Structure 1
């Protein structure tokens, strides 16, 4: 018996020096695959096996095993419920439900931490409002007295309330807002059960792309920053800080891959989610609706504070949060350092825009806001052109050759965000230069001032083909 005890002594000493050696560490992550702005925090990490590359194997983790669990949800609220119940360790969600996550943890006598920004827009693009294709509504102001559905407690809900406030409307009297998931909203729009639907990525783009609805409002018009990010149970983070850093190292790598090859990974996201690749690319392309952010910019911190205020307005929160404790950038700072990134540089300024060249001339495009993009069905990479007119001329020539585009992208002149050109309205000025607009109303307002006619997509293509001096 004594011999047996002596034999067990080394194992006992190892356990003392490595307290996690015999432990199975759960890593349960709640993700939102169809909310494509969360891809770098969930879908891509899972599908590419990135997390395993960075999990700690030395020191106190030597000999430990990992039980990685991925659970997919369609919105942030149920992820929060599971996190508070101790069934999930990490969760990815937008600003508004993220704030609700912090409030829910506080009510339960617990804490969560907002640890990273995955994808965001300081201008607010990414959310939107759509109407049935046959609707007479051309802008949000046309929806007074109408029924608008939205997923409650979502970032789109917050956007809608802020946009209504900007119009001076009372959300309880001037419109009827009802709760509705995007999975239901598509058929409700087509059957006329609702007058409009507000939603988060990708549905305000996906519905128009599939011809289910027409977009009349983009979140950028509200001018309120928005983002999707990652949260962790604070108790879990205190116990396994190195695991939290490992997860964020995987986020950084997924972000790098998505930035380097947006078309390739848009195809992967499309394969997993069923969301069309051109819609995914509209968000994740080099000039997409949102950027891969990572850093906790002041605008995103303020967005969380604004979200908490909105929760109070909705009577979903009767208490505030200590933002300095709730938003914790220590983990992303450490992960960035390990990945060789300068976090302070990411925090201080926007990343310089990528250098792009004109597909027809090979020359560098100086003013990207005037450019347009074609993604052809038989090509793996999108082509960019210095002007909308030149892109439409190229498209006409390609179509004569029997080729077809999967998508045509342009920039909305009002908000500056990228839109699907074949669902836009256009104005041609006296020099033959074409400008794109999300709404017909905006095109008419500009057209009146510029003495230009308002054109639909077919007319714009014809116009571009007939203007020799269009840029």
Structure 2
């Protein structure tokens, strides 16, 4: 049974009183498992570690007056091995997605222990972040083209769940209509280059990292599934019961990391690149204004449902037979307390579904951008911040004017005209109307449908921008 937060405080006070006579200094381990390359875990791991934020919040009063802290960090490329070390008692905290998180809870329960999901770190109520890619020269352009094809995916990952839902939506049998094989991201990249697989489904950031690196094209975004997905943080329940103040301290550090990323996403995208090798343009695609996912630390009903769906799907996959209850597996007491101690309104944040907003002036007119539906952005290599344009036509005109310049462009972004999904400009399809207005789409089929409506023409990036590798003179 869960105790209300005031009961936690009471138990803390009673414990402090009982341990006030302890004379020796206790060394308390704070062992945190991260997934650095899973970049939307950054506010709960990489940024806290690299910016030494946890030190600011670990308690040093009351029962912790003489405490010493042994803070340990360990990086993982996926949730399963992280869970193994948590269950073995080698880690206290861990960051992972909804599906591996559900496996974490089941593994703890099978071992006669408990873990609890304590916060969301980043997610999408529609499913963005997961995606399906194909080799660059593939003739496939949508999920409807994948029947009878070989699709690889990291098994039991959140992208595996997305793939199964997408196949079900097509009315296909996943056992007979497609050939699904297990493949880690690091293996899939090589397989895509060599054309050894027809498609690959993956989680953050690989469905966008592979296209950015020019080895794949995205043909399906998880948002098309309309199935919520997220990454979050878990803690060993026994550890949380013994050291609730430390759990709150970790979450306060997470809140600060999130605030810093909001204030200067370009700066911290470059830091993530330095640590992980995941290029800053990919990091900014997620963490910048209007990003693919929302960094959201609250337990919205959609994320609670994602946990319940993950538990049900894992049972369907026969990955677990444990009766894990999402109502007790998710524990929002600690994040609520962290918000309170940080002088923030948790309930207001819970009700807020907006992405990080774009507050910017048009780089051409200098006027505030009022409508961000078709906004485009250019990030120059020698500039600290992204330039913003009211529409793709403006951005491409700026690229054209800068052709003779020597300063390369890091990246160009556009937004899908239909759903607002942020895209790499080179990966998008475009429709130009008779007046020269240009709008972008993720899918060629969507662009074609829109072109028919307005009697426009579908083009790729090279055609509308006039260059395959843009450069823009510093002005």
Deviation at 1:241, TM superposition (A): 0.3
Q: 2:87 aligns with which of 84, 88, 95?
A: 84
Q: 1:245 aligns with which of 244, 248, 251?
A: 248
User: Which residue in the other structure is 1:374 paired with?
Assistant: 378
User: What whole-Å deviation, never above 9, does each CA across 1:430-459 have from its counterpart, x for those lacking one?
Assistant: 332211111222222222222111111121
User: What whole-Å deviation, never above 9, does each CA across 1:306-356 have from its counterpart, x for those lacking one?
Assistant: 111111110112233222211111000000111111001001122473422
User: Which residue in the other structure is 2:205 paired with?
Assistant: 202
User: Which residue in the other structure is 1:97 paired with?
Assistant: 100
* Matches for 1:3-402 after TM superposition, within 5 Å: 16-17=19-20, 19=22, 22-351=25-354, 353-402=357-406
User: What whole-Å deviation, never above 9, does each CA across 1:97-118 have from its counterpart, x for those lacking one?
Assistant: 1111111111111111100011
Report the Cα distance in structure 1 between the residues aligned to 2:68 and 2:385, rounded to whole angstroms. 40
User: What whole-Å deviation, never above 9, does each CA across 1:237-283 have from its counterpart, x for those lacking one?
Assistant: 00000000000011001000111100000000000000111011101
User: Which residue in the other structure is 2:465 paired with?
Assistant: 461
Report the Cα distance in structure 2 between the residues aligned to 1:187 and 1:154, rounded to whole angstroms. 20
- Match of 1:363, SS state, is coil
Task: Judge which range, 78-87 or 400-409, deviates more.
Answer: 400-409
Please say if 1:412 is aligned against 2:454: no
Report the Cα distance in structure 2 between the residues aligned to 1:319 and 1:15, rounded to whole angstroms. 37
User: Which residue in the other structure is 1:466 paired with?
Assistant: none
Report the Cα distance in structure 2 between the residues aligned to 1:314 and 1:103, rounded to whole angstroms. 14
Whether the aligned pair in 2 keeps the contact of 1:127 and 1:155 (CA below 8 Å) is yes
Whether the aligned pair in 2 keeps the contact of 1:15 and 1:21 (CA below 8 Å) is no
Q: Which has the larger radius of gyration?
A: 1
User: Which residue in the other structure is 1:468 paired with?
Assistant: none
Whether the aligned pair in 2 keeps the contact of 1:117 and 1:294 (CA below 8 Å) is yes
Note closer, same or farther for the CA distance 1:213–1:172 as it changes in structure 2 (3 Å cut).
same
Whether the aligned pair in 1 keeps the contact of 2:32 and 2:91 (CA below 8 Å) is yes
Note closer, same or farther for the CA distance 1:115–1:100 as it changes in structure 2 (3 Å cut).
same
Please say if 1:430 is aligned against 2:457: no
Note closer, same or farther for the CA distance 1:18–1:397 as it changes in structure 2 (3 Å cut).
farther
TM-score relative to the length of structure 1: 0.93
Task: Judge which range, 425-434 or 42-51, deviates more.
Answer: 425-434
Report the Cα distance in structure 1 between the residues aligned to 2:234 and 2:463, rounded to whole angstroms. 48
Deviation at 1:16, TM superposition (A): 4.5
Report the Cα distance in structure 2 between the residues aligned to 1:414 and 1:14, rounded to whole angstroms. 59
User: Which residue in the other structure is 1:443 paired with?
Assistant: 447
Report the Cα distance in structure 1 between the residues aligned to 2:162 and 2:310, rounded to whole angstroms. 10
User: Which residue in the other structure is 2:7 paired with?
Assistant: none
Report the Cα distance in structure 2 between the residues aligned to 1:107 and 1:414, rounded to whole angstroms. 45
Deviation at 1:15, TM superposition (A): 9.6
Deviation at 1:388, TM superposition (A): 1.1
Whether the aligned pair in 1 keeps the contact of 2:19 and 2:63 (CA below 8 Å) is no
Deviation at 1:18, TM superposition (A): 5.2
Report the Cα distance in structure 2 between the residues aligned to 1:278 and 1:351, rounded to whole angstroms. 22
Note closer, same or farther for the CA distance 1:414–1:176 as it changes in structure 2 (3 Å cut).
farther
Task: Judge which range, 448-457 or 286-295, deviates more.
Answer: 448-457
User: What whole-Å deviation, never above 9, does each CA across 1:54-108 have from its counterpart, x for those lacking one?
Assistant: 0000000111111111010000111111111111100000111111111111111
Deviation at 1:21, TM superposition (A): 5.0
Report the Cα distance in structure 2 between the residues aligned to 1:138 and 1:354, rounded to whole angstroms. 31
Note closer, same or farther for the CA distance 1:312–1:15 as it changes in structure 2 (3 Å cut).
closer
Whether the aligned pair in 2 keeps the contact of 1:221 and 1:415 (CA below 8 Å) is no
- Match of 1:185, SS state, is helix
RMSD over equivalenced CA pairs, Å: 1.7
Report the Cα distance in structure 2 between the residues aligned to 1:142 and 1:252, rounded to whole angstroms. 42
